[in-house]
Amino acid sequence: MDGVLVVDKPSGLTSHDVVAHARRSIGVKRVGHIGTLDPLATGVLPLVVGRATRLASLLSAGRKTYEGCILLGISTDTYDATGTITADARDRMGTGLVNAPNPAAIERAMAAFVGTRPQRPPPFSAKKIRGVRAYKLARRNQPVAPDPVEVTVHSAAVLAVDGTRVRCRVTCDPGFYMRAFAHDLGAALGCGGCLETLRRHRNGAFDLRGAVSIEEIDSRGPAVADRMVPLAELLPELPRLVLTEHGARRARHGNDLTVADVVSSSADWASSAVSSGAATAKLYDGEGLLIAIAKADAARLLHPTIVLV
């Protein structure tokens, strides 16, 4: 019960609800999630189980890919379709916009978001303002203006335009809010906008292939462990170092290691990576058990930073 279970989250549940389902069904208390999804959203929600919870900070660093539908003409306080309407630019019939942007204008506006730029998180978010979560202040009808955060968008494409609805696909780094993106796109087009639907297709190394449903978790219970990505297979991009018995014993206690403690490696870490002083590696014992994550320095020393046993 150590690894990552990728869940295809349904709409209507919070990320914490999914964690609670998993804890109850598989009988493991140490369960967390990587990358929060709003209740409105569906798609990839990786759950870290058992000792894998120690790796959450490393596993959450990858890019994310979303497909969403943005509803133009309506602005809400939550920046999505579940909120209270604060501005409405639709015509009297409610089926179109008074001054509708054409598809070419929408594509130009969306392309402007690609790159690294500041983004102000939504008022209803977990960002803290003077030590208080923004959503708590918003629920009290207090003024909420979270500080802008630098975010990176690698690609943003219009998939289809159907009346006031814009279907898009966005690949971004962690920290990017799709709700804020929908709101800002509407503002850039001069008509307002909010996020109507959202589905996450990828979160770092995890995608929808092999994802399990809530129903499968509930029905199979502990047997769902056969769908889990094992601890030893996580973070495949990091060099794999197999330690001597003495080295494994030192690593389990968080002690520094030298080249003499390494039996074999999957990369030339001792020459190129270590000399840079910024290498990170996975440490295994002789039986193939992942026991620690370590950083290497220019002095050819390995410093265990996360111990898993």
Catalytic residues: 38
| Contact (Cβ atoms closer than 8 angstroms) between residue 88 and residue 47 | no
| Contact (Cβ atoms closer than 8 angstroms) between residue 143 and residue 132 | no
DSSP secondary structure string for all residues of 238-278? S-EEEEPHHHHHHHHTT--B-GGGEEEESS-IIIIIHHHT-
Would you call 35 helix, strand, or coil by DSSP? coil
Would you call 130 helix, strand, or coil by DSSP? coil
| Contact (Cβ atoms closer than 8 angstroms) between residue 34 and residue 20 | no
| Upper half-sphere CA count for residue 255 (Cβ side, 13 Å) | 11
Strand partners, 132: 129
| Contact (Cβ atoms closer than 8 angstroms) between residue 40 and residue 80 | yes
Report residue 39 as tokens: 């209740």
DSSP secondary structure string for all residues of 12-32? T--HHHHHHHHHHHH--S-EE
The 10 Å CB-count burial string (b at 16+, else e) for 148-171 is eeebbbeebebeebeebebbbebb
Residue type (1 letter), 81: A
The 10 Å CB-count burial string (b at 16+, else e) for 207-235 is beeebbebebbeeeeeebbebbbebeebb
